[in-house]
Amino acid sequence: MISGLKDIINEFDTFILDQWGVLHNGGEAFPSAIATLELLKQHDKKVVILSNSGNTHNFSYQRLTDSGISRDLYIDVLTSGDHMRHNFKQGKFTELGTNALVLGWDDGVQSTVLEDCGLTSVDIDDASLILCYGVGRATVADYQYELDIAYARGLEMVVSNPDLVAMSPDGALKLCPGSIANAYAEMGGKVHWHGKPQVEVYGMCKTLLGGWDNAIAVGDSLEHDIRGANTAGISSLFLTTGIHADDLNAKKAEKSEMDESSLVAELSAEFDVKPSYYIDWFQVD
């Protein structure tokens, strides 16, 4: 365990930060986040935000600014939505056609997503693929009807946000597109994943930054942030106060004789990942 980034700041030239759970949860920036970003800037560190968001980096710029995080505190943002759009523009999904059953957020950005990817929104009976970039219903079960038809027709799913859940400003967990994609994959459907933990997005990140010597990824998801770092062959810092906080608290209650380091190691092993370090919050010390 480390108490803050001051403990390891001299070991790395590049810090790859998750957004939700590290810098904010959709509202104002966490109290320690801005001071920590300022510390990284003072030490001339490369800072990039790598987010499993179905939206583009432009949307993240505004959300970060609204949270109180100045644009000069990071070099850039790369999202899983950027990764997906890149692959569509590169022709990776040409064989899937352009008629999409769209599963998205109720946020008015569907037309932009479709335009970026060269797709047309259609009903399930006319679809040649599924585009999953958001969640507009309460549970995965609410999508089962369309998933059953899609699977029977052999449709493939492209998902722009692989997160299963995300923290809300009030601390509650909300359903994310990855949960729908997971359900489809478990049925036997083919899913094209984007963002963390896909190794390709770390390559895009490295190109965006002009390379790095020694990078560390910071995040609160063992499944995405830590697995992604492990897959990319870089170090990782796991935040215990994020989406796994309840899991760790349950382990503490069940195994009170174990120290926190052992509990984190045990939980990490359940996901078959290994963080290099862990910390409570994204903080200086």
Percent of the chain residues topping a pLDDT of 70 = 99
Residue 19 has pLDDT above 90, yes or no: yes
Task: Give the Cα separation of 139 and 137 in Å (integer).
Answer: 6
What number is the average pLDDT over the span 156-161? 96
Residue 189 burial by Cβ neighbours in a 10 Å radius (0-12, 13-18, 19+): middle
- Beta strands of the chain (E only): which ranges? 14-17, 46-51, 76-79, 99-103, 120-121, 129-132, 157-159, 165-167, 173-175, 191-192, 215-219, 235-239, 277-279
Contact 234, 203 (CB under 8 A): no
How high is the pLDDT of residue 108?
Answer: 66
In the block, which residue shows the tokens 């903080």?
A: 283
Q: Which of 260, 161, 236 is nearest to 201 (CA)?
A: 161
Look at residue 219 in the predicted model and tell me its pLDDT.
97
Show the 3-state SS of 37-66.
HHHHHHCCCEEEEEECCCCCHHHHHHHHHH
Q: Which overall architecture, per CATH, does domain 5-82+196-279 show?
A: 3-Layer(aba) Sandwich (3.40)
The Cβ of residue 32 has, within 10 Å, a number of other Cβ atoms equal to: 17
Half-sphere exposure of 127 (CA within 13 A, CB side): 25
Same CATH fold assignment for domains 5-82+196-279 and 93-192: yes
Q: How far is residue 224 from each of residues 195, 198, 245, measured CA to CA in Å?
A: 9, 9, 16
Q: Helix (H, G, I), strand (E, B), or coil: what is residue 165? A: strand
Domain ranges of the chain: 5-82+196-279, 93-192
pLDDT tens-digit profile of 70-98?
Answer: 999 999 999 999 999 999 999 999 999 99
Q: Is 118 left (phi over 0), alpha (psi -120 to 50) or beta?
A: left
Grouping H, G, I as helix, E, B as strand and the rest as coil, residue 173 is: strand
Q: Which of 106-110, 214-218, 222-226, 279-283 has the lowest mean pLDDT?
A: 106-110
CA nearest neighbour of 196 among 36, 113, 84, 71: 84
Q: For the structural domain made of 93-192, what CATH number should be given?
A: 3.40.50.1000
Tell me the average pLDDT across 196-214. Answer: 97
Spatial strand order of the sheet with 99-103 comes to 120-121, 99-103, 129-132, 157-159, 191-192
Cβ proximity of 248 and 241 under 8 Å: no
C-alpha–C-alpha distance, residues 248 and 280, integer Å: 12
